[in-house]
Amino acid sequence: MGSISSSTTASDGLGPLFNTRSCNNCHINNGRGHAPEANINGISVPSFLIRLGKSYPNQNTPSNHVYPHIGDKTYGHQFQSQSTTGISPEGDYYLTYQTHTEVLSDGTKIELRKPQLHWRTLHYGNFEESTGFTMLASPALVGMGLLDSIPDKSILANADPNDSNNDGISGRVNWLDEEQTVIGRFGYKASVETVDQQNQSAFHTDLGLSTPLNPTASGDCTSRQRDCLNSPNGNSSHLDNLEVDEQQMRLVDLFVSLSSPPAMRNLKTTAFLEGKRVFDAAGCAGCHTPKMKTGNDSPLKALNNRTFYPFTDLLLHDMGPELASGFPSFSASPSEWRTASLWGLGLSEQISGRSGFLHDGRARNIEEAILWHGGEATSSQRHFKALTRENRQKLIFFLESL
Ligand code: HEC
Ligand code: HEC
């Protein structure tokens, strides 16, 4: 990110509690982050974070019930291991990994690892009994404006909440309200409506900066964190009594909205075309919708009437218990996730140095990511396991070219 508010010093209002000092520490070069290796301090990997939320009875049944985000009474909505001088950070954690091995039909063995969360220090006492934890590695930030500009009706056209076409895949919209008028698109569970809202909440929760939609300068401090609430802040009269004002928001929104996905590569090669055939035959496109089109009412003219290739339907799919989060998010149950876009997959490591796949970065490469697919994606996963080595390589070549 440029110099505008994306990289902060203590004097401009950062914190009091924060995860890291800039958007770029998590969305590395607009690319993705990764998960901490086993036993190292979580604080040393800023691109990974832990969300806190209420778990509910019956939350595992996908339904149209809307579960709002209610944070922990003491720690709030997100765990912050960093703080400004004089304020205690929330603590630190580490991960260990539970491993198991999947054997493909041709005998190839692939070890999968699942992160387990452990608290090392908790500086404000215990969590509430009902608090659940969701681990997230930062996603890449490309094509956000394009996804923002898809008309609602195009998203709804792909939804099949009751699987009435009987293909085992039932994409659901994450409705953010009971009346089913507001569609969520951003975040791993599609729990945020617009890029602007997502950016504003990132400033507030990740960096501890106030914005027009979140005007309190104390970020994610709770009423049980008095020192944090009462510490000096950077709300300034020349910024409409905020730390990040409307004008700065517009610039960040513009940057995030117009950062474009990489162009597809190797399009004309036989391996790409054959890989695409394997992708289709495995049913991947049932969720990873190749092509989308924007509408024509974006104030950013460059985003209007664009056909593009995100490989996502922006819908929620049940991915099975192994991938489940610690709490639901609006209409998304713990095991439901928004179909991940696949653009730029093959460039991930080049862009951010190292990277992980899936919401918590557990997958170290694309094969592992596919093998974790369960729930509605079980038959795709089985298809993948049964591929010949040659077809598997073509599929990966195709995916790495997107
Ligand atoms: C501490 C790491 C961290 C920082 C700092 C951070 N983000 Fe994020 N960002 C994430 C994670 C994790 C997600 C996924 C959130 C979710 O699923 O709810 C995310 C999601 C997003 C998304 C939505 C991506 C998508 O595919 O839907 C946008 C846009 C975004 N961040 C913008 C920003 C901006 C702008 C900043 C700086 C003001 C920022 N982020 C700072 C970790 C971070
Ligand atoms: C039922 C819907 C569904 C099907 C079918 C499906 N996927 Fe996915 N895919 C998802 C969802 C949802 C995620 C995100 C899961 C998460 O983050 O935990 C995902 C994630 C991925 C990722 C990781 C992307 C990233 O950025 O981390 C890859 C790679 C992927 N899918 C490839 C495939 C391939 C290849 C196939 C076919 C063999 C396939 N998927 C079939 C829904 C599906």
Domain ranges for the chain, please list them. Answer: 10-400
**191 within 8 A of 316, measured Cβ to Cβ:** no
**Minimum-distance ligand 2 atom for the alpha carbon of 284:** 37
**94 within 8 A of 121, measured Cβ to Cβ:** no
Alpha helices for 270-333 (secondary structure H): 270-281
Q: What is the mean pLDDT of residues 231-242?
A: 91
- Output the pTM of the full model: 0.96
Mutation test residue for ligand 1: of 12, 44, 77, 198, the one with most atoms within 8 Å of CB: 198
Q: Specify the higher pLDDT residue, 353 or 317.
A: 317
Q: Ligand 2: which residues within 6 Å by Cβ? A: 169, 188, 282-284, 286-288, 317, 319, 323, 337, 339-340, 345, 357-359, 366, 369-370, 373, 376-377, 380, 384, 399
The pLDDT value recorded for residue 6 is: 44
List of residues 6+ apart from 107 with CB closer than 8 A = none
Among 279, 256, 275, 257, smallest CA distance to 267 is for: 275
CA distance 129 to 138: 27
CB environment 37-53: b (16+ within 10 A), e (fewer): eeeeebbebbbbbbbbb
Residue with tokens 């992160």: 115
The pLDDT value recorded for residue 12 is: 64
Rg of the chain over CA atoms, in angstroms?
Answer: 21
Nearest residue (CA) to ligand 1, atom 6: 23
Q: Which ligand is nearest to the CA of 48?
A: 1
The pLDDT value recorded for residue 16 is: 95
Q: What is the mean pLDDT of residues 324-339?
A: 96
**Minimum-distance ligand 2 atom for the alpha carbon of 376:** 1
CA separation, residue 73 to residues 52, 126, 173 (Å):
10, 10, 29
* 392 — pLDDT class (breaks 50, 70, 90): very high
Q: What is the DSSP letter of 373?
A: -
CA separation, residue 15 to residues 3, 84, 210 (Å):
18, 6, 10
Chain centroid to CA 80: 17
Task: Write out the two tokens for 395.
Answer: 């599929």
pLDDT digits (tens, 9 = 90+) for 366-390: 999 999 999 999 999 999 999 999 9
Mutation test residue for ligand 1: of 12, 27, 252, the one with most atoms within 8 Å of CB: 27
* 394 — pLDDT class (breaks 50, 70, 90): very high
pLDDT digits (tens, 9 = 90+) for 284-313: 999 999 999 999 999 999 999 999 999 999
Q: Return the amino acid letter for 363.
A: A
What are phi and psi for residue 243, nearest 5 degrees?
-95, -30
In this model, does residue 244 exceed pLDDT 60? Answer: yes
Distance 306 CA to ligand 2 centre (A): 24
